[in-house]
């Protein structure tokens, strides 16, 4: 199968590295990584990719310039491999520079082709994250049909039971940790932990727990779902023991509580420690600090600058050797830390473009 791991712009290379770890060679393109594989690769990627948003199966491609041609060719796609009467589907159509451009009419024809191919009318889902979504893309008269094998986005791990304001997406937290190169050898600290995303993702990574362990995937409902194969993949998980502390701090008591609840839901409460402290004194001299400081609209510019300045002073005073990775909406704010920072990448976080900066000592 032709597979595509959708990845947020700015972290595609990290997703490609993750695929490499899984023994899969991929090709990075804007917005994700293309690769090929069978059901085993499809299941492994959904279960293990920490930075991808979803895994698509590009399952049919043909040229169509009129509707009769579309129905005739779409009917030949292997719908019977995954469709069965119980599963619900959702069809999303886009069209650019093509003779067929009326998206609603394309959707109707695709549905008709499916009915003719499988001999029943598939149930249509009303909600975004329900069932299996089918993406039909027309580009210069070439119709590409992809199926979303993941279901809800992969960053929905199933552990976020308590929320705080401005949480970081799980896949972005994982990307920050992977980009730091941290694997659990030294303490990892997030001084602005909010709902605990960075420490929880760090614990999952260090303990070699797949991020998708607590959730289900759309492919589990497909007709070709190989339950035995999936069970074998699950049985091969080998958890590692984590020796170094993973710590989260926050000035808000409710954030610390939310972090603990989420860590419990993720099954890693024994590996992380959260405390209601601001810039605490630490007992170790070496560490990796990964954090998402507050830069929200509710804070005044002066307060935000002050937070970044204190972050810089704090790492310098606490550690003789450190790696600091942090997010900032601008280079000038990142420089308020007073550290020798360099930008590694940038991505969108909650609708704002933020840079990921690094400083080492
Ligand atoms: C952008 S949020 C972090 C979100 C977090 N990464 C998550 O995934 O939920 C910033 C956090 O910093 C905390 N904070 C603000 N000022 C602080 C300070 N001086 N010391 C410690 N924490 C602070 C806020 O309470 C908030 O939870």
Tens digit of pLDDT for each residue in 214-227?
Answer: 999 999 999 999 99
Whether the CB of 299 sits within 6 Å of ligand 1: no
The minimum-distance atom of ligand 1 relative to the CA of 291 is 6
Helix (H) or strand (E) holding 53: strand 52-63
Predicted pLDDT at 117: 96
The pLDDT, as a whole number, for residue 298 is: 65
> Can you give the pLDDT at residue 350?
84
Average pLDDT of every residue of the chain: 96
Output the residue whose Cα is nearest ligand 1's atom 26: 194
- Answer yes or no: is the C-beta of 134 below 6 A from any ligand 1 atom: no
pLDDT digits (tens, 9 = 90+) for 58-100: 999 999 999 999 999 999 999 999 999 999 999 999 999 999 9
Task: Quick: pLDDT tens for 97-110.
Answer: 999 999 999 999 99
The residue whose CA is least distant from atom 12 of ligand 1 is: 192
pLDDT above 70 coverage of the chain, percent: 99
Rounded to whole angstroms, the Cα distance separating 247 from 249 reads 7
**Cα of 167 to ligand 1 centre, how many Å?**
9
Residues with Cβ within 8 Å of 180's Cβ and at least 6 positions away in sequence, in order, are: 288, 290, 323, 325, 358
Residue 252 Cβ contacting ligand 1 at under 6 Å: yes
Which residue puts its alpha carbon closest to atom 27 of ligand 1?
194
pLDDT (tens digit per residue) in 279-321: 999 999 999 999 999 987 666 777 999 999 999 999 999 999 9
What number does the ligand 1 atom closest to the CA of 277 have?
Answer: 21
Report the pLDDT averaged over residues 200-208. 98
pLDDT at residue 131 in the model: 85
165 burial type by CB count under 10 A (0-12 exposed, 13-18 middle, 19+ buried): exposed
Strands 132-139 and 88-96: parallel
- Ligand 1 contacts CB of residue 195 (under 6 A): yes
CA distances 127 to 31, 73, 89, 242, Å, are 24, 28, 10, 39
What percentage of the chain reaches a pLDDT higher than 90? Answer: 93
Q: pLDDT of 311-360, one tens digit each?
A: 999 999 999 999 999 999 999 999 999 999 999 999 999 889 999 999 99
Ligand 1 center from residue 308 Cα (angstroms): 12
* Residue 198 Cβ < 6 Å to ligand 1: yes
Domains identified in the chain and CATH numbers = 2-148 (3.30.2130.30), 170-208+242-360 (3.40.50.150)
**Residues 129-152: what's their mean pLDDT?**
94
pLDDT at 277 over 70: yes
pLDDT at 297: 65
């Amino acid at each position: 199968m032709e597979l595509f791991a959708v990845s947020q712009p700015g972290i595609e290379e990290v997703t490609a590295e993750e695929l490499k770890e899984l023994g899969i060679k991929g090709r990075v393109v804007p917005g994700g990584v293309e690769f090929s594989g069978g059901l085993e690769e499809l299941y492994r990627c959904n279960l293990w990719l920490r930075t991808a948003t979803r895994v698509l199966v590009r399952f049919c491609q043909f040229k169509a310039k009129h509707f009769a041609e579309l129905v005739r060719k779409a009917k030949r796609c292997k719908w019977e491999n995954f469709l069965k009467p119980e599963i619900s589907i959702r069809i999303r159509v886009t069209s650019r520079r093509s003779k067929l451009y009326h998206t609603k009419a394309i959707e109707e024809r695709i549905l008709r082709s499916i009915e003719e191919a499988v001999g029943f009318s598939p149930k249509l889902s009303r909600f975004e994250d329900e069932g299996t979504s089918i993406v039909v893309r027309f580009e210069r008269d070439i119709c590409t049909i992809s199926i979303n094998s993941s279901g809800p986005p992969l960053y929905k791990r199933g552990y976020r039971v308590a929320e705080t304001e401005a949480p970081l997406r799980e896949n972005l937290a994982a990307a920050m940790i992977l980009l730091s190169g941290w694997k659990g050898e030294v303490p990892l600290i997030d001084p602005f932990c909010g709902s605990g995303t960075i420490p929880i993702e760090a614990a999952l990574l260090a303990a070699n727990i797949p991020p998708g362990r607590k959730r289900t995937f759309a492919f589990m409902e497909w007709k070709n779902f190989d339950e035995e194969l999936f069970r074998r993949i699950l049985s091969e998980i080998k958890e590692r023991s984590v020796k170094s502390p993973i710590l989260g701090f926050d000035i808000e008591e409710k954030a610390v509580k939310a972090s603990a609840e989420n860590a419990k839901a993720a099954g890693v409460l024994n590996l992380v420690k959260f405390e209601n402290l601001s810039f605490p004194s630490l007992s170790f001299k070496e560490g990796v600090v990964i954090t998402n400081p507050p830069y929200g609209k509710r804070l005044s510019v002066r307060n935000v600058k002050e937070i970044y300045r204190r972050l810089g002073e704090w790492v310098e005073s606490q550690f003789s050797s450190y790696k600091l990775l942090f997010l900032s909406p601008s280079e000038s704010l990142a420089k308020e830390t007073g550290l020798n920072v360099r930008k590694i990448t940038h991505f969108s976080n909650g609708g704002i473009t933020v840079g990921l900066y690094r400083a080492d000592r």
